[in-house]
């Protein structure tokens, strides 16, 4: 079991501290769950309890996801006159302070795009939370700051929980109710989109829960349909601890006009597999900037190591080439010595002179390249140069038009170095800058 496959989900409510240890592969598996009452405790005491629970769950610096309870945030469904991500973000930042009585600098916001229409509008969920809520989590988790992967709204874990644990898709608007007394979350989801979400406080007396839930479900549907967000829901899924929803099942099925599914579980685990947009991660900007710099530093280190490795390989290649050439020269000397001893000094000299004559009869490659550099017209660019053992040169390149290619052939012919130049192919294709001609020309070399 790899460490990267394990994630911890942590939630702090008014009364409880809950931590889940999850194995995230094809299916989410909950390896451990601890819920502890924190009523009346100070943050320092909660911090100690947190360390104790993580130790019990064998925490080994795996990723931690902080889950923001729905009742700690404000959510608004808005129609925005833009479909550009950065422009939408600017518009929402200007509107944030309209929904909460706090200065803009004290509010942290995120958003998700639900859909876009043909008239240029985007329909988004705007999520707003006070920075003190985020700061409190980081005070309590100050010893584990480097392990915090994301700060996410609980609502976004419901769909992934249903898909990752129940192995089911939500293809039409569906109401999911997560019973976590004293607060209960009601969300309407479709596929990966959170369409609507609200939080309510249930009475302490459980006998009143069925009636209260039925009223709140009707109210949720009414507000949702009034906003014309999507189609009417046809199904309700109840989740939460077995203890909380066990007695409600039969009563809820009887009273609801929608199809009801009871699925006791821990839906917070769904956040482990939530492929969230960056705009939905409420990590403080200072930490995001710090991690960005660290990531950039790691990239620089990688580039430096790659450069060092490349340089080492290049040096090794030069050393091997030098070694091979030295061996080759030694073998030549050995062969010449054999010739000298077998055929005498005169025969040896004839063979040596023949070798020298063969080498001097060939054109040096630098002479060829130097000639090409002066002959290539400005409207032709050379992309490949091949010089084979037979003394044939292949030139591949690009030109602006066909005439440039065919005009280049007589230029090569008039040179003192090249001969028998001809176009092997010239094809036209479209590029971003317009039409270009890919060509290949072959020619021979005039020996000295």
Tens digit of pLDDT for each residue in 264-304? 778 888 888 777 778 888 888 778 778 778 777 878 888 88
Give the model's pLDDT for residue 363.
59
Structure tokens at 425: 């192919």
Give the CATH fold of the 1-166+269-283 domain: Nucleotidyltransferase; domain 5 (3.30.420)
Tokens 């009585």, located at residue: 101
Give the model's pLDDT for residue 342.
57
Structure tokens at 57: 């769950």
d(CA 14, CA 371): 82
Q: Which CATH superfamily is domain 168-264 in?
A: ATPase, nucleotide binding domain (3.30.420.40)
Work out the burial of residue 227: count CB atoms within 10 Å of its CB; fewer than 13 is exposed, 13-18 middle, 19 or more buried: middle
Residues of the chain under the 50 pLDDT cut: 348-349, 352-361
pLDDT tens track for 94-114? 888 888 888 888 999 889 888
Return all residues near 137 (Cβ < 8 A) that are at least 6 apart. Answer: 12, 66, 151
Give the model's pLDDT for residue 17.
93
Give the model's pLDDT for residue 432.
79
Tokens 């302070």, located at residue: 97
Residues in a beta bridge with 24: 28
* Residues 22, 7 contacting (CB under 8 angstroms): yes
d(CA 189, CA 174): 5
Give the model's pLDDT for residue 248.
67
Give the model's pLDDT for residue 340.
62
Give the model's pLDDT for residue 352.
42
Residue by residue, DSSP assigns 89-121 as HHHHHHHGGGTSSS-GGGEEEEEEEEEE-TTS-
Best CATH choice for the domain 365-445 from the list 1.10.3720.10, 3.30.1360.100, 3.40.50.970, 3.30.450.20: 3.30.1360.100
Half-sphere exposure (Cβ direction) of 20: Cα atoms closer than 13 Å:
22
- Cα distances from 263 to residues 161, 196, 237, in angstroms, run 11, 20, 7
Domain boundaries, the chain: 1-166+269-283, 168-264, 298-360, 365-445
Tokens 């580039």, located at residue: 303
Q: What kind and span of H or E run contains 403? A: helix 402-413
Give the model's pLDDT for residue 246.
63
The four Cα atoms 15, 282, 164, 57 give a dihedral, to 10 degrees, of -50
Return all residues near 188 (Cβ < 8 A) that are at least 6 apart. Answer: 173, 174, 175, 176, 194, 195, 196, 197, 220, 224, 229, 230, 233
d(CA 373, CA 88): 53
Residue by residue, DSSP assigns 307-369 as HHHHHHHHHHHHHHHHHHHHHHHHHHHHHHHHHHHHHHHHHHHHHHHHHHHHHHTSPPHHHHH
Note whether 1-166+269-283 and 168-264 share their fold: yes
């Amino acid at each position: 079991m790899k460490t990267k496959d394990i994630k911890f989900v942590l939630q702090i409510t008014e009364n409880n501290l809950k931590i889940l240890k999850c194995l995230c592969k094809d299916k989410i598996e909950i390896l451990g769950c601890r819920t502890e009452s924190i009523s009346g405790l100070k943050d320092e005491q909660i911090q100690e309890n947190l360390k104790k629970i993580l130790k019990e769950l064998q925490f080994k610096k795996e990723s931690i996801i902080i889950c923001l309870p729905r009742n700690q945030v404000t959510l608004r469904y808005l129609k925005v006159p833009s479909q550009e991500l950065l422009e939408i973000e600017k518009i929402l930042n200007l509107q944030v302070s309209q929904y909460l009585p706090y200065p803009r600098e004290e509010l942290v916001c995120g958003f998700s795009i639900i859909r876009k229409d043909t008239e240029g509008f985007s329909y988004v969920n705007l999520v707003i939370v006070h920075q003190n809520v985020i700061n409190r989590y980081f005070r309590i988790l100050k010893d584990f700051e480097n392990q915090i992967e994301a700060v996410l709204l609980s609502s976004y874990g419901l769909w992934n929980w249903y898909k990752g644990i129940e192995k089911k898709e939500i293809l039409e608007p569906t109401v999911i109710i997560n019973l976590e007394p004293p607060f209960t979350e009601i969300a309407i989801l479709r596929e990966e989109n959170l369409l609507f979400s609200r939080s309510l406080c249930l009475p302490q007396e459980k006998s009143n829960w069925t009636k209260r839930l039925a009223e709140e479900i009707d109210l949720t549907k009414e507000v949702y349909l009034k906003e014309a967000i999507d189609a009417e829901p046809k199904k309700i899924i109840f989740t939460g601890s077995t203890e909380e929803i066990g007695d409600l099942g039969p009563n809820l099925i009887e009273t609801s006009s929608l199809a009801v599914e009871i699925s006791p579980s821990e839906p917070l685990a769904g956040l482990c597999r939530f492929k969230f947009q960056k705009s939905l991660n409420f990590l403080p900007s200072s930490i995001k900037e710090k991690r960005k710099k660290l990531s950039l530093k790691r990239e620089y280190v990688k580039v430096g190591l790659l450069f060092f490795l490349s340089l080492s390989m290049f040096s090794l290649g030069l050393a091997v080439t030098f070694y091979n050439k030295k061996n080759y020269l030694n073998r030549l000397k050995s062969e010449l010595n054999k010739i000298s001893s077998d055929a005498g000094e005169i025969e040896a000299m004839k063979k040596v002179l023949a070798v020298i004559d063969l080498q001097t009869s060939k054109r040096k490659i630098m002479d060829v390249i130097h000639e090409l550099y002066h002959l290539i017209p400005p409207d032709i660019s050379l992309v490949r140069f091949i010089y084979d053992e037979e003394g044939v040169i292949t030139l591949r390149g690009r030109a602006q038009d066909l005439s440039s290619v065919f005009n280049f052939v007589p230029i090569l012919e008039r040179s003192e170095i090249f001969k028998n130049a001809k176009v092997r192919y010239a094809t036209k294709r479209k590029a971003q800058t317009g039409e270009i001609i890919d060509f290949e020309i072959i020619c021979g070399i005039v020996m000295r």
